[in-house]
Amino acid sequence: MAPTVVLAFDKFRGTATSLDLAAAATAAAEASGWRAVTVPLADGGEGSLDVLGGANKFTTVPGPLGQPVEAGWRLAGREAFIEMAAASGLALAGGPDLNDPMLADTTGTGRLIATAIELGARTIFVMLGGSATTDGGLGAIRAMPPAARLKEVDLVVGCDVATRFVDAARVFGPQKGATPPQIELLTRRLERLQQQYIEDYGVDVSQLPGAGAAGGLAGGLVAVGGRLESGFEMLAERAHLDEHLAGASLVITGEGYLDDGSFAGKVVGGVHRWAGVADVPVAAIVGQADGDLQLPTSLEVRSLVERYGLDRAMAETAQLVSLQVGELLDSIGRGRSAHSTG
């Protein structure tokens, strides 16, 4: 009977989706004589809808800078799944060079939440990541139903960082195009806003790890009754990752850039932890790895940039992941064969 490999990739941002990588890795595994089980994953940010089955609703809402955007989201029975990046993402603002970090807000995300409630959703998962905004979630709150009505809804906020509310501008502002003076202004705005949330809702988000995710949107949603969860854990549970790992001979995971943050809420670290519990060997194929990163001895890492150079790694991501999966599984197969005949 062919050995089983679980293929649990996150997206490589900007070059390949988790579904692209799943297809490429599956073909390579099967060509190497392995039984492939694909479990596309995400950390609760961009790409989460791909993992969950894609958008089946589209709603026109204000983008991060007020321009109308057609935002995809998912409604399944009384559950709704919303990626904030689809309504308030940095890509919608044209990237950091065209973004206005002082004006960008989360109104569109709030409109999606309101629409989901109007259509009967009673559990709403909001996936954070890729935001253009540092408005502390104020735009979203203003676009949502009153807090009293929100008590009827289970608002689950998936995030993958531990950043505190007031630190959101300092940590994430530069990647959204904010200058140092703007970061100072945004920080002071967040300081005032956290006090406002105490006065308006009786909720202090100042010391809550993760409240600064998506420019403070996480903290704003908690202030009106939401609860934070690990985006990875939430999606891994829905994908039944533990069941797929049972009896597997190997799990291969991967993401675009491997660094310390990969082991603090992102996919590679999460899969490594779950594989350890299941006592399954794990390897990671990544776009690039931080050269200073201290890797766990139980994790084999292969970097596309290190093996093929940056240009090829960016242009041929799925194909190169496929090559690495094949090489990895063939080497294990040769080892098995040598052991069995030795």
pLDDT at 255 over 90: yes
Q: What is the pLDDT of residue 336?
A: 54
pLDDT tens digits for range 275-295: 999 999 999 999 999 988 888
How many domains is the chain built from? 2
Of 36-50, 108-122, 301-315, the least confident: 36-50
pLDDT tens digits for range 14-33: 899 999 999 999 999 999 99
CA 62 remoteness from chain centre? 22
d(CA 37, CA 22): 9
pLDDT at 168 over 90: yes
Q: Are residues 245 and 228 in the same domain?
A: no
pLDDT tens digits for range 80-115: 999 999 999 999 999 999 999 999 999 999 999 999
Q: Which domain holds residue 107?
A: 48-232
d(CA 138, CA 142): 6
CATH code of residue 214: 3.90.1510.10
Q: What is the pTM for the complete model shown?
A: 0.87
Q: Are residues 33 and 55 in the same domain?
A: no
What is the pLDDT confidence band of residue 231, given thresholds at 50, 70 and 90?
Answer: confident
pLDDT at 264 over 90: no
Q: Are residues 258 and 305 in the same domain?
A: yes
pLDDT at 238 over 60: yes
pLDDT at 339 over 60: no
Q: Are residues 156 and 288 in the same domain?
A: no
User: DSSP E strands: which ranges in the chain?
Assistant: 4-9, 35-38, 57-62, 68-76, 79-83, 123-127, 154-159, 227-230, 250-254, 257-258, 282-286, 288-289, 299-303
Q: Are residues 64 and 116 in the same domain?
A: yes
Q: Are residues 54 and 157 in the same domain?
A: yes
